[in-house]
Amino acid sequence: MRAFLFVFVLAVSFISNAQVQVSTLALPHLQQCQELHGKVKAIKRMNLTLYDTTGISAKHIDSTEYWVDSFNTSGQRIAGYRVINDTVTDTIKIKLDNRGHIIDEQWHSLNVGTSYHVAYTYNKCGNMIKRTSYDAYGKPGNVVGYTYASGRLTEETEKREGETWRYTYQYDKKGKLSEKYIYNPWGLKLVYKYAYNAKQNAVTEQYIYGKGKHHEAYRYKYDVHDNIVLRETLNQDGTSGIVYRAGYTYDSKGNWIRYLEYGGRGYLLRVRQITYY
């Protein structure tokens, strides 16, 4: 097994079909966007927060809280549940259409006895055009609409709590997301700008806000599996700020099964136990 680097991992996500590899909206903790390899049947995932690395061993794999996700033979997630102290506390059931698209997610919390679900609608090309959240009584909450041009996501409109938020996307010549604009109900809120390396991973991410007078920037590095191993904060004068690092261990299929992230104040160990068909 590969030795760990003591590191921090970035929040990694896909913005619908916008094809950007990183987003720090969920910082500090990030999740990898690496596609699964092999015919995955189930994944048991656990987190453990550490404040030093003394005594890290196999015992940390055994957590009192964990999630288990199930997949069909096509590699699509179809169900999941959370366990705390040997008791199932939350479940999710996922319904797919005949094209393999998620059309409904049913969430249920056994602890508090509440449920909600999320419904998805697609166009003829298979692009998601609407996502609606419903509470336990069937009342719709957040509603998000998606607009496309030439197969690329160009705009999202989100209605939540009586307010409308709008997101627009622009792409470079290679079809990678280059700019994202966020408009809150009172006007332009934030601009994201991205630059990529030869492998089309985002290597810089810039935020402009306050009518263009303020900005933050981040620089990223990746391992051979295209997972982020470094995030460096760039100050407004271009000098280096806080640096976060991450280290991974992979199984024989090339899926990560352990990583350790470091954010300056502690470590977060994440473990995945993967079973295959």
What global pTM score does this model have?
A: 0.77
User: How far is residue 112's CA from residue 254's CA, in Å, rounded to a whole number?
Assistant: 38
pLDDT of residue 111: 77
Q: Domains, the chain, ranges and CATH?
A: 24-276 (2.40.160)
Q: Which two tokens stand for residue 126?
A: 């298979």
SS3 54: coil
pLDDT score of 101 more than 60 = yes
β-strands 187-196, 177-184 pairing: antiparallel
Q: Give the DSSP letter of residue 45.
A: E
* Residue 52 pLDDT: 56
Structure confidence by residue, pLDDT tens digits, 176-195: 999 999 998 887 778 999 99
Q: What are the beta bridge partners of residue 126?
A: none
